[in-house]
Amino acid sequence: MSSRLHWPRAVFRAKTRGQALIIAAIMLPFIIAFVLLVIEVSERWLEVALMEDALQQASRSAVQVMDYAAMARNQEWLRGVPATGCAHVTQAEPGACRAVVEVATTFLTTNLSSARGLAEGESVAAIARRVRWTILPNGGRCRYSNGAERTLVGQPLICAEVRPALRGIVGWGDYTPFISASDTLDAAR
């Protein structure tokens, strides 16, 4: 009976050359997949952050297209924009807000000129054409297509949204994140 108790211990204690290679061979595919996953996720975060920054800077620059003399006279704040503003206009159909949309699109195109991760067939010009701008010279409420809102009263407000087609560095398929931005003038202190 004592030989039965010692037999399993002998099996677990037996050491032979190359035992660690088997464990390494089994673990290696999982380690590689995990490393590639981390690389892909971090690249996608970076691509989305670059797109968000470009759109935010474009809306920031567009809101600065102010007629300060008219603002001082308590008249129309944004050049060429009706008092009611423009909701969900694009570069293709800017309507009455053409001047502001052109400025915003110019800045967005410049900011995206070094964009990385664009999906096959996607271009900076195509992204710029799809951006939906909301221009509110006296403030108001921007409603995004994802249900979010931004409200500001008494100051010019410009909001933008787009869904660019992006591809990560590993190439595990295209994705279309929702990217939105809004900006107003800094408060005077």
Evaluate if pTM is beyond 0.75.
yes
User: Which of the listed ranges 10-14, 77-81, 167-171 does the model predict with the highest average pLDDT?
Assistant: 167-171
Domain ranges within the chain, ordered by starting residue: 18-184
pLDDT at 149: 86
d(CA 189, CA 176): 40
pLDDT at site 55: 93
Spatial neighbors of 93 by CB under 8 A, at least 6 apart, are: none
Binning pLDDT at 50, 70 and 90, where does residue 48 land?
very high
Q: What is the DSSP string of 102-148?
A: HHHHHHHHHHTTT---BPTT--HHHHHHHPEEEEETTEEEEE-TTS-
* Stretch 179-183: mean pLDDT: 91
User: What percent of the chain stands above pLDDT 70?
Assistant: 79
